[in-house]
Amino acid sequence: MHDFDGKVAVVTGGASGMGRAFAERFAQAGMNVVLADIEEEALETAVRELEQQEHRVIGVVTNTMSRDSVQALAQRTIDEFGKIHIVCNNAGVISRGDAGTRAERGVWEIPQSDWDWVMGVNFWGVLYGLQVFIPHMLQHGEEGHIVNTASLAGLTPGGGAYGVSKHGVLALSEGLYRDLKSRDAKISASVLCPGFVNTRIFAAERNRPEEFESTDAAIDSGASASVETMLQQAKLPSEVAEMVFAAIQDDQFYILPHPAWDETVRSRVEQVLARGAPLSIDFEDLLGRLAAGEDL
């Protein structure tokens, strides 16, 4: 996709972090941008700041766990701008338990509320985005692109609700790309698999619905705090946004902003082909490397 001026982009999780950076990059390219987020106050702030830069942007409060809410987002966008050309299914959360360096629990001990919330936003939210937006994009017949935000957690060994959800997004995105190409659609797709990025994802509990409240006792809050501190030294969302924009231009499917993880991904695949046991990732070592300035 090369013609962006006057086209329309929808970004979920658009009030902050990478989503906010994507929205600003699209707006700089002359696009009309729709920011969707569940956090109303932050959404209003993001819209106001982009409007002050004379960008054409609207905000729509959206709960990506609800297909009806995503459908309402699409309809609001069509009512305002007529067509949709780029969709970033970017909204994502991580539970307190997954945010610790090593939760003292097995995957069978993860509370159902964690599974429901994390899978609901990270996986079902992406799937709803595809189900709602792609029929419209195919119908209008113009060039378009879908970007699904997964994570390096979708390419590396891991458990927990977060890792499982991101593996699911990766597989879903690969199937999406294949299906679009087999139909010679003018829409293409990418999957974004970042490592550490300076966002507020580890504060995602602020937006956790009451019905999914967790009483999990196996939460390493100190570890979570250390991760958040390390994130302040991580890659900036604006850097990732530039890579995403370039991937849309170049029709690049896998977007891997952190090459320092390449060897880990390669080792994981080699271990699979060797019929071996899953690799173990030393999270404490990762935090030390991040603190030392390594781009993880």
- Name the residues annotated as catalytic: 162
CB 146 within 8 A of CB 176: yes
One-letter amino acid at 170 equals L
CA 146 – CA 127 distance, rounded (Å): 12
Sole residue written with tokens 């190409």: 181
Tokens at 276, concatenated: 């071996």
Secondary structure of residue 54 in the 3-state scheme: coil
Give the residue among 294, 127, 112, 62 at the shortest CA–CA distance from 215: 112
CA 152 – CA 145 distance, rounded (Å): 21
Which residues, 6+ apart, have CB-to-CB distance to 233 below 8 Å? 198, 290, 291, 293
